[in-house]
Amino acid sequence: MKPTTISVYLLFVLTAGTMTSLFLTVLLIRLCVGIVAYYQLGQVDFSIADVTYAIKIGVAGGLPLGIGSWLLAKMKENENKDPFPPSDS
């Protein structure tokens, strides 16, 4: 396995990825609810408030999840380091 370093770049990637995935998940769920409401009530129940709600959920959930996953990766990296390298003798 190729060794990787856990850097600040990975922190931004993990945070942005979790925020984006949560945003898209909530937005698609709200859109599906709107489509179901269209078939039952005859009007689409999807507005800009649903988009802002998805943004709020994406930020509120993505930040702690992204930072937490980065911290876990950082702890795993430190755990795998050998504190006593092999001697040459």
Q: Where along the chain do its domains lie?
A: 8-76
Residue type, 8: V
Considering only residues 34 and 84, tell me which one the structure prediction assigns the higher pLDDT: 34
Q: What is the pLDDT of residues 35-63, one digit of tens each?
A: 999 999 988 888 899 999 999 999 999 99
Distance in angstroms (rounded) separating the CA atoms of residues 5 and 25: 30
* Structure-block tokens of residue 56: 């709020």
Nearest to 21 by CA among 10, 13, 32: 13
Beta strands in the chain (DSSP E): none
Q: What is the pLDDT of residues 60-85, one digit of tens each?
A: 999 999 999 999 988 888 777 766 66
Map tokens 């795993």 to a residue: 76
